[in-house]
Structure 1
Amino acid sequence: MRHECPPCLSPADAATPLPAAARTFDIPTERICQLLATAPLFDGLAQGEIARFARGVREIKAARGEILFHRGDACSGFHLILTGQIKLAFVSAAGNEKVVEILHPGQTFGEAVMFMDTPYVVMAQALADSTLLHIAKQVVFDEMERDPVFCRKLIAGLSRRLHHLIADVENYSLRSGRDRIVGYLLREVDDDNPAGSRVAIRLRTSKATIASRLNLTQEHFSRILHDLIEAGLIEVAGRTIRIPDLARLRASLD
């Protein structure tokens, strides 16, 4: 059962239906402002400026596996992830899935579709119990007309997303599956680890989802992991991957 948030929604926003999986809760305007202030998109905005968004914000709880929206659903705003993990994916008529992005707290999604005023082209699913904020598009449009700095932040965010997608095309087209996996593992390592140190990382989602994100079949993904294990570059125990020598793994990309 869904509950709208009267103090936080304009009449127009309140009439907008939520996805079936979403559950919204009454939350004070002050708390909404505090949550928004933690997001990079709203960094630098004064408290009063952030408060203007509160009337168009819903807090959404999604359990692991729940669908936030399907391809073809209408877009009424964009989402900001507070906790959890969200997967964006294409799903074919036969049920085959291609993961486009795996998103984490602090990231947003849905802005481009919101501006284009078209239905969603992907589905969004919670990979873990998640909490999100949904920001209504009319509130965003009103603030864009009022504040050019906020406009530039939105454009910068969309530009970073585009750059990221171009990098994906480059990886899929020019890099081997092995290099894609090694690159993914290295991105999961904290930057402050010494070059030759032994480190352990915990995969934040299933290997099948990561394989799809890297444009690999599960079988190919598993074979490459086995090859890396045989080469002594990694050790695998479930979702935990240990890297005996970080510098050696990095050098394997050369």
Structure 2
Amino acid sequence: MTNLDQLKQIPLLSQLPEEELKSLARIVIVKRYQAGEDIFFENEPAKGFYALVKGKVKIFKLSFMGKEHILHIFGPGEIFAEVAVFFDQKYPANAQALQDSTILFFPRQSFRELLAQSPDLGLHLLGLFALRLRELVAKIEDLSLKEVPARLAAHFLLLLETKGKSTFSLDINKNQLASLLGTIPETLSRVIKKFKDKGLIEINGNTITLKDQEKLKEIALGLSRL
């Protein structure tokens, strides 16, 4: 698969005119990471940004005690680490491949030169920033104002929307999911068990089926409690 073909798999970039995509294809570098391999570290100079073609990547921070807190998990088609590049900053967090991943790397200097020649590309990325900011605000609200059942219900409903079906596999482990939701594995296990006991979900290994979506929506919105 050519660099151009892989760029077309990134929704934000696929809308660009063919000539602009060809320009991007000339500067992009294809990188492959194995599961568990580090991509960049917090406070490392931002040398470029990334677009995920295949696999999954977690963005996380470590506390002074070494505890990991996952900020976001990116899947195929998503772009990450772009803000630090535009503002000439250091990476604000760590990035690591959760699965074997194919990633497009956009070198900072080459990309900024291209951006100066293509205002349309800049407008598309402004849209990405706006969406990312909305997601960040929503996550802060979830972690600070909502209890764990509401966070978990909201996460399941997001997966429903993303995957387009009510039965799906959890592609991260329980510890990672707990970190993403701002809780601990023991608490997460108790909440999952309550969801199952009340008939809201069905579990088969790592496969989840949402049985009562309306109740989950009520819990996610804080309109109902377990």
TM-score, with length taken from structure 2:
0.90
Matched, 1:74 2:41: no
Q: Give the aligned partner of residue 104 of structure 2.
A: 133
Indicate the structure (1 or 2) with the bigger Cα radius of gyration. 1
Unaligned runs of 5+ in 1: 1-26, 194-198
Decide which of 45, 61, 73 is 2:32's aligned counterpart.
61
Unaligned runs of 5+ in 2: none
> What displacement does 1:70 show?
1.2
Decide which of 41, 48, 52 is 2:23's aligned counterpart.
52
CA contact (8 A) 2:149 2:219 kept: no
> What displacement does 1:99 show?
0.2
Matched, 1:201 2:153: no
What is the aligned length?
A: 220
The one-character-per-residue Cα deviations of 1:206-233 (angstroms, maximum 9, x if unpaired) are 1211111111111111111111122121
In the superposition, relative to structure 1, how do residues 167 and 52 fare at CA in structure 2: closer, same or farther (>3 Å)? same
The one-character-per-residue Cα deviations of 1:58-104 (angstroms, maximum 9, x if unpaired) are 11111111111111222111100000000000012322000000000
Going by fraction, where is helix more abundant, 1 or 2? 2
Q: Give the aligned partner of residue 181 of structure 1.
A: 152
- Alpha-carbon distance in 2 for matches of 1:152, 1:104: 23
> What displacement does 1:246 show?
3.0
Q: Percent identity?
A: 29
CA contact (8 A) 2:154 2:216 kept: no
Q: Give the aligned partner of residue 181 of structure 2.
A: 214
CA contact (8 A) 2:38 2:96 kept: yes
Decide which of 226, 229, 244 is 2:196's aligned counterpart.
229
Q: Which amino acid aligns with 1:216?
A: T
Q: What is the SS of the residue equivalent to 1:35?
A: helix
> What displacement does 1:137 show?
1.5
Q: Give the aligned partner of residue 149 of structure 1.
A: 120
Q: Which amino acid aligns with 1:136?
A: P
Q: Which amino acid aligns with 1:227?
A: K
Matched, 1:39 2:10: yes
- Alpha-carbon distance in 1 for matches of 2:218, 2:42: 41
- Alpha-carbon distance in 1 for matches of 2:76, 2:40: 18
1:13-32 equivalence runs, <5 A: 31-32=2-3
Q: Which amino acid aligns with 2:207?
A: T
Decide which of 209, 212, 222 is 1:245's aligned counterpart.
212
- Alpha-carbon distance in 2 for matches of 1:221, 1:158: 31
TM-score, with length taken from structure 1:
0.80
Decide which of 60, 63, 70 is 1:89's aligned counterpart.
60
CA contact (8 A) 1:33 1:47 kept: no
Deviates more, 1:242-251 or 1:115-124: 242-251
CA contact (8 A) 1:84 1:131 kept: yes
Q: Give the aligned partner of residue 115 of structure 1.
A: 86
> What RMSD over aligned residues (CA atoms) do the two structures have, in Å?
1.8
CA contact (8 A) 1:59 1:134 kept: yes
Decide which of 139, 145, 148 is 1:168's aligned counterpart.
139
> What displacement does 1:247 show?
3.3
